[in-house]
Amino acid sequence: MSSIADNIKKIKEQTVEKLISLGRPEDDLTIVAVTKTHPVAVIEEALRNGISHIGENKVQEAIHKIPFITVPYEGFHFIGHLQSNKINNLLKLKPVLIQSIDSLYIAQQLNRSLGRKNLTQDILIQVNTTAETTKSGVNPENAIDMIWQIAALPCLNIKGLMTIGMLSPNPENTRPYFRKLWKLKEKIEAEKIPEVQMKYISMGMSEDYLIALEEGSNMLRLGTIIFGARNYGGTN
């Protein structure tokens, strides 16, 4: 068994154990393997060993990989900052979920492109719960107003929220920020915004995914813990 296969097996055992301890169903979780900088062969190895969702954070990298994957899988997620000039290339890749909508402007541009193609797109709203300037995402205090506005765009389907925890040597330090996203989710549900769902709460990465599960996450974005350290020397 490959190290990737071993890693995936261990992650699934840990997450199932954690979900059971929390009284949640074993299948109440989507694991998105973050495949940035990893070549198609490595991605396919993960797909053959239990991964069914993959995530890329750069359109220009994804276009050189996604069309060439031959192993069946359930979906490609876009998880990086989306620039308006990359929207059409991204849509060619048919993402099941764009997790990183962080402004009304980019939502409007995406909606316009989708409308021209007579398509709709499932999205998550990215929230900057840590208030770090290096991170994308809408301020939590402005999120509900923005969601009301995006909900009016006919080609976009809001399916939940995404956040990136605080990078810290102690994963426990990120718990308050995950909790903040969950509280925002509850406020949004109370608003009863038409056509808006809080189906997915995407939070938790390799360093803090078990804490994220404890705070309500049902979608993890895992890279290093599956694939090992990234190789930034190339993408193919």
What does the pLDDT look like over 8-23, one tens digit per residue?
A: 999 999 999 999 999 9
More confident residue, 229 or 228: 228
pLDDT tens digits along 28-86: 999 999 999 999 999 999 999 999 999 999 999 999 999 999 999 999 999 999 999 99
Cα–Cα distance measured from residue 117 to residue 60, given in angstroms and rounded to the nearest whole number: 21
Cα–Cα distance measured from residue 41 to residue 142, given in angstroms and rounded to the nearest whole number: 42
Task: Return the pLDDT at 230.
Answer: 67
Helical (H) or strand (E) element with 220: strand 219-222
Domains and CATH numbers, the chain: 3-227 (3.20.20.10)
Task: Return the pLDDT at 236.
Answer: 39
Cα–Cα distance measured from residue 207 to residue 211, given in angstroms and rounded to the nearest whole number: 9
pLDDT over 60 at 1, yes or no: no
- The pTM of this model reads 0.95
State percent of the chain over pLDDT 90.
90
Give the Cβ contact number of residue 23 at 10 Å: 6
Cα–Cα distance measured from residue 209 to residue 217, given in angstroms and rounded to the nearest whole number: 9
Residue pair 121/157 in contact (Cβ under 8 Å)? The answer is yes
